[in-house]
Amino acid sequence: MEQLIQSAQNFLSIAFFSVATVFFAFSLLLLLLRSRSWCNCEVCDAYLNSTWATEFDNLCDWYAHLLRQSPTGTIHIHVLGNTVTANPDNVEYMLKTRFENFPKGKAFSSILGDLLGRGIFNVDGEAWQFQRKMASLELGSVSVRSYAFQIVASEVAHRLMPLLNASSLDASSPLDLQCVFRRFAFESISKISFGLDPGCIDLSLPMSDFEAAFDLASKLSAQRAAVASPVVWKVKRMLDVGSEGELRRAIQLIDELAIQVIRQRRKIGFASNHDLLSRFMATINDEKYLRDIVISFLLAGRDTVASGLTMFFLLLSRHPKVAAAIREEVDKLAGDEMARYDQLRGMHYLHAALFESMRLYPPVQFDSKFCLNDDVLADGTFVSRGTRVTYHPYAMGRMETIWGRDCLEFKPERWLQGGVFSPANLFKYPVFQAGLRVCIGKEMAIMEMKTVIASVIRDFDIEVIEGDGYRPRFAAGLTGSLADGLMVRVRRRSSREGVAFLGS
């Protein structure tokens, strides 16, 4: 009798497993059919088979090429269900005119949900409004901006400059400047946003392991958006295999860091502090929600600033006349001292050079929304409900229709009128987004990058080590970072040999 019962149980188990397998296969087939992965147009074929890589080093360069060829500055990648545009009128339509119809959307939130959770960059509606209001109150105050500048200036003087000085003493050993800027930005944003020095947080592993986890999680999360059907990564996630297994383990490390940050801040107290986390902790008790907020601001403050600085010094090494002009301006306004906040604001040529660098190499190369209801973009392009609509700052910086025939040239002068910086329309230059979701950390990021540039360029020559025909190759990720880093040689300027700087 027991044997009969056991046989029946085995039969039922096999039957259940078989039915589940058939149901899963059927669901998978439906999802694949809905993904329109059968499209065999020239663009989709090039995307699926990566034949674009025979001519272009980066996917963004291929997109820019396609967008330049389009009469409207808009293209369709059917296998991704993605409409991509470099048309400023469309950008304004999405980010301002019809803002409510182009939210981040559930599809986007799903892609980045494991990493960013309910953080400000991954939500819409009330959750977004609440976090934005809280962050705006903090980042918009004069006292907090002064507090942030003091932190950045201290980091530059006591950590960045001594490191570069040490590297200049051994010119035979190249330095990965991208890695340096990532560490610098990580430490600065940790102090500004959380009031904590990363070196003082009680962690089970070295900080470098957590920074590597951020890079890996960013890369793998971005790869989710690149597959023709989301079912691919969702199945791998369910089975915990391949890239999804790696992503889960990376996020576990990130979670540990975030939890320790929150606990350390709670231990120190947060009632009367300037940092962003303290303001949120005064009203939020949900540790998971706080974790999402910590990760969102940490990633944004670290990766975007590091990307902006890295690409700036790559371009600067190719344009010595621009470097000389910046040095002249810094010497005139700040002399041998570290530039004060008010002096930075008067450095119009430096400001122009930074904006010109980000025009060509924006830290966030593209940004996607999802169409809530059927709509027609400003250029007449129809987009159906559920369509992913992407505006592409990287391609926009390379459009003759926007910037003229010299759009591929690095010319800070295009931003100056009578020697004074003149900003462009944000929908033409959406490097910091535009409309209702314009970046609230814009002024702080600009201040941080200008502080670094003014200090470094005054005392050092940065020579990028470029082989014959070198062209930057981007790594997959949420921001524009270089796949192979930025290897440089640092040389202390001969005219600065006798000049001491704080921290040396």
**Which residues are annotated as part of the binding site for heme?**
439
Alpha carbon distances (Å) from 217 to 170, 295, 297: 34, 11, 15
Rounded-to-integer distance, Cα 298 and Cα 306, Å = 12
- Residues ≥6 apart with Cβ < 8 Å to 192: 147, 148, 151, 152, 275, 276, 301, 444
Query: Which of 127, 128, 147, 151 shows the shortest CA–CA distance to 139?
Result: 147
Identify whether the C-beta of residue 475 lies closer than 8 Å to the C-beta of residue 219.
yes
Q: Give how far the C-alpha of residue 275 lies from the chain's centroid of Cα atoms, to the nearest Å.
A: 22
Q: How many CA atoms lie within 13 A of 310 on its CB side?
A: 32
- Residues ≥6 apart with Cβ < 8 Å to 462: 177, 313, 316, 317, 456, 488, 489, 490
Strand partners, 416: 421
Contacts 24+ apart (CB under 8 A), 206-209: 209/253
**Burial class of residue 13, CB neighbours in 10 A (0-12, 13-18, 19+):** exposed
Strand partners, 417: 420
Rounded-to-integer distance, Cα 46 and Cα 51, Å = 5
Residue pointed to by tokens 């993605």? 82
Identify whether the C-beta of residue 166 lies closer than 8 Å to the C-beta of residue 462.
no
Query: Which of 489, 426, 59, 480 shows the shortest CA–CA distance to 309?
Result: 480
- Residues ≥6 apart with Cβ < 8 Å to 216: 246, 247, 250
400 Rama class: left (phi>0) / alpha (psi -120 to 50) / beta: alpha
Rounded-to-integer distance, Cα 351 and Cα 357, Å = 10
Rounded-to-integer distance, Cα 367 and Cα 75, Å = 15
User: Binding site residues, as ranges?
Assistant: 439
Burial 290-306 (b: 16+ CB within 10 A, else e): bbbbbbbbbbbbbbbbb
